[in-house]
Amino acid sequence: MKKIYIGFVMCLLMLGLVYCKEDANMKDTFAVIHSRKSVRSFTGAAVSKNDLDKIIKAGMAAPTAVNMQPWSFIVITDRKKLDTLAEGLPNAKMLFKAGAAIIICTEPDKAFNKSKDFAIIDASLAGENILLSIETLGLGGVWTAAYPYADRMKHVRSVLNIPQEVIPLNVIPVGVPTGEDKPKVKYNKEKIHWEQW
Ligand SMILES: Cc1cc2nc3c(=O)[nH]c(=O)nc-3n(C[C@H](O)[C@H](O)[C@H](O)COP(=O)(O)O)c2cc1C
């Protein structure tokens, strides 16, 4: 009986240690917000499906107008597809070294009032959640614009078979950062208006 009890206590302790270790690797929200930066230099290492799942789940936790969630997310880990995307995107050459990419798509037809504006705003909020989650996991990412550039959206649509009514908002290369990219200090008191403009 005593042995069973000791075994049970040991199991609880080990579980506690696993959770503590996970917590120790997690940054607090403000630390994440202030350490997030656009990462354009990647080591070339892979990104796990588990991490990508967490990142997308966080994206879907973002607020949307009337909770319409007009978004979809395309996750790419296939090397050939990442390279093909990079070839047609002058602004996203870092894809060649990224381990994965997330393409945030949005559909005006599925947004509140069928509004393109709401579709873009809603999906952009998911984008920030995604960028912050990438930082939280110790990975790097950068928003590269597809929308509003017709040529870039055309390329992304054709490589990924995206229907015409769906807007590919961006391509977010995700990877293991080399450490070269640093956060910028943007705090500017002059941009704040207390009580009135
Ligand atoms: C709408 C939008 C479009 C962007 N497009 C690109 C892009 O095409 N290529 C790129 O390298 N970075 C792009 N960026 C990243 C910005 O250049 C970057 O966020 C900005 O310079 C501030 O740096 P930080 O993200 O490190 O704070 C884009 C960011 C936003 C929000």
Q: Which atom belonging to ligand 1 lies closest to the Cα atom of 127?
A: 31
Question: Domain for residue 88, yes or no?
Answer: yes
Half-sphere exposure of 148 (CA within 13 A, CB side): 4
> Which residue, 172, 104, 175, 103, is CA-closest to 138?
175
Ligand 1: does its nearest atom lie under 6 Å from the Cβ of 145? Answer: yes
Please report which confidence band the pLDDT of residue 6 belongs to, taking 50, 70 and 90 as the band edges.
low
On whether both 5 and 61 belong to a single domain, the answer is no
Domain membership of residue 187 (yes or no) is no
Co-location of 2 and 49 in the same domain: no
CA of 145 to the centre of ligand 1 (A): 8
Is 23 inside any structural domain? yes
182 in any annotated domain: no
90/8 same-domain check = no
The dihedral formed by the CA atoms of 129, 133, 135 and 141, expressed in degrees to the nearest 10: -70
| Cβ proximity of 119 and 66 under 8 Å | no
Residue nearest to atom 13 of ligand 1 (CA): 144
Number of domains in the chain: 2
Q: Mark whether 60 and 82 lie in a shared domain.
A: yes
Give the tokens for residue 72.
Answer: 């979809």
For a mutational test of ligand 1's pocket, the pick from 34, 38, 185, i.e. the residue with the most ligand atoms closer than 8 A to its C-beta, is 38
Query: What's the pLDDT tens digit per position in 38-62?
Result: 999 999 999 999 999 999 999 999 9
Q: Are 106 and 169 in contact (CB under 8 A)?
A: yes
Q: Is the CB of 37 under 6 A from ligand 1?
A: yes
Residues in CB range of 67: below 8 A, 6 or more apart? none
Per-residue pLDDT of 91-105, as tens digits, reads 999 999 999 999 999
Give the pLDDT band (50/70/90) at residue 186. very high
**39 Cα: distance to centroid of ligand 1 (angstroms):** 10
- What one-character-per-residue DSSP string does 107-141 give? -GGGSGGG-HHHHHHHHHHHHHHHHHHHHHTT-EE
Residue 51's nearest CA partner among 148, 150, 134, 144 is 134
| Residue 16, pLDDT above cutoff 60 | no
Euclidean distance between CA atoms 162 and 172, whole angstroms: 16
What's the pTM? 0.89
**Same domain assignment for residues 151 and 73:** yes
Examine residue 145 and state whether it is found in any structural domain, yes or no: yes
CATH code of the domain in which 117 resides? 3.40.109.10
Mean pLDDT across 140-156: 98
Residue 13's domain comprises 1-35
